[in-house]
Structure 1
């Protein structure tokens, strides 16, 4: 379920003042339309530069995602924008991040962004999983696996992003992952699997092409064949639930991609 987006100026005055104590006087803001996890998502410009501010009300049911992002941020140097500050004021939890100047990743076949995203996932695979409370991949997928025994494939000790939406990947000289709301601990190859579905949905790849990119990620080369097939089916089941009976165009594309990948894996 998407979260209603508001502007920075809609914040209580005390919360806005707390932001300006970190940034200096705000000269201009640009609200970002992409993303579903934050009520505030805006680029903030001041005399000293810019930053990206995101936040949720302190009583929002998903406010824990803001705290999770803050907890993992220090482990993601070179992988994600740096967390500059965090404040809790007037019923709001707000995070200020380094402002990236790149573009959203282009996942289409032949895009020059694809090698950079593959390199990003390889570098993420080298990051030790932090000792903070994280959701477990096998728990998140428990309701969607075709067989309970499949969950063993998804368990692991690696730090995962789990939402490889191309709008969560910013590309400049290299690629960066933003929005770590759903950071998860699990099998190292799972993010490459999530990327497969997004390559098919956002980039219009066929399953064979998407999996060729997944194979450039070292963890994928040691992933159990049956585990990949189980994950593809679980992912299709996730999108079946999200889509419901009347999906919008974006959700319908994700469901179609997930179904096609699951069908491909059954024949592989």
Structure 2
């Protein structure tokens, strides 16, 4: 969705940010996120930096703010810590600690690749929180004839856009948990495969990287085949008849993985 400039939000909302974050010396809008109406780095007079994101309370996807707030305590230290969550001036606002580092590079040879795999493996070790998260069978039901193959009790991030992975202090940190879900433990690395292909890897190379995660290495072949088919259908729907450059790239990557796995009957 379009990202508003920080100064475009109402004065009441701006005032509560300054009350909670401290006097604002500078606000830098972050335009790479897709799940917020505003996203900004806030610099205060204590030489501190925090990250604030928000939506109007009547926005149809404001539930993503509630989801991120609810899940944050369960995904430490993989995610930046939430500092506060407030509804004020018609806006739902979240504040997180700032992570000082670049977005992950997924291209072949990137030094970030093993760090992302380590974070994914660490996520697989976290307990499933007692939250009403959507299941992957439910999410994939429109795209698969066998969605129950995707069932499981693993906490999943599911949105492995490299803009959601920050590299700092020698490790990967995961942001934007709005699409967290419950499902089979191999699904996050399987979703990463498509992003890796979109970033220049062959399907074989992408699967080898994903296999650094135990759950993917041990995943049943028929389940991976079914998931690749479902992702291909999903990205075809997202891209539609006139895809933009980004959706066209993802559609091509999903189709490439599906072709790679088509006809496999491995157990």
> Which bracket does the TM-score occupy, shorter chain normalised?
over 0.9
2:106–2:196 contact (8 Å) kept in structure 1: yes
Corresponding residue of 1:192:
189
Aligned residues: 262
Whether contact under 8 Å (2:152, 2:184) holds in the other structure is yes
Are 1:261 and 2:257 matched, yes or no? yes
Deviation for aligned residue 1:89:
0.4
CA distance in 2, matches of 1:227, 1:35: 31
2:36 equivalent among 21, 38, 41? 38
Correspondence for 1:144:
143
1:166 matched to which residue of 2?
A: 162
- Residue by residue over 1:212-245, the C-alpha shift from the partner in whole angstroms, topping out at 9 and shown as x without a partner, is 0111101112211000010011011110011000
1:154 is the counterpart of 2:154:
no
| Separation in 1, partners of 2:37, 2:204 | 38
Preserved CA contact (<8 Å) 2:6 2:28: no
Q: Which runs of 5+ in 1 are unaligned?
A: none
Aligned to 2:26: 28
Following superposition, the deviation at residue 267 of structure 1 comes to: 4.5
Residue aligning to 2:3: 5
The answer on 1:242 being equivalent to 2:238 is: yes
Give the 4+ runs in structure 1 shifted more than 4 A. Answer: none
- Give a deviation string over 1:2-44, Cα, whole Å, max 9, x none: x221122111111111111111111111111112110011111
Q: C-alpha separation between the residues in 1 aligned to 2:148 and 2:140?
A: 11
Native 8 Å contact 1:153 1:224 kept in 2: no
Q: CA deviation at 1:159?
A: 0.7
11, 25, 47: which one aligns with 2:45: 47
Gaps of 5+ in 2: none
Specify the alignment match of 1:112 in structure 2: 111
Q: How does 1:216-227 map to 2 (within 5 A)?
A: 216-227=212-223
CA distance in 2, matches of 1:156, 1:226: 15
The structure 2 residue matched to 1:14, chosen from 12, 15, 30, is 12
Match of 1:215 among 205, 208, 211: 211
Q: What's the CA shift string for 1:120-142, capped at 9, x where partnerless? A: 00000001111011111110110
* 1:122–1:217 Cα contact (<8 Å) kept: yes
CA distance in 2, matches of 1:222, 1:204: 25
> When the two structures are superposed, what TM-score results if normalisation uses the length of structure 2?
0.96
TM-score by length of 1: 0.96
> SS state of the match for residue 108, structure 2?
coil
Paired residues of 1:28 and 1:46 also in contact (CA < 8 A): yes
Q: Once the two structures are superposed, what CA deviation does each residue of 1:132-184 show, in whole Å capped at 9, x if it has no partner?
A: 11111110110011x1xx21111111111111011111012100111011011
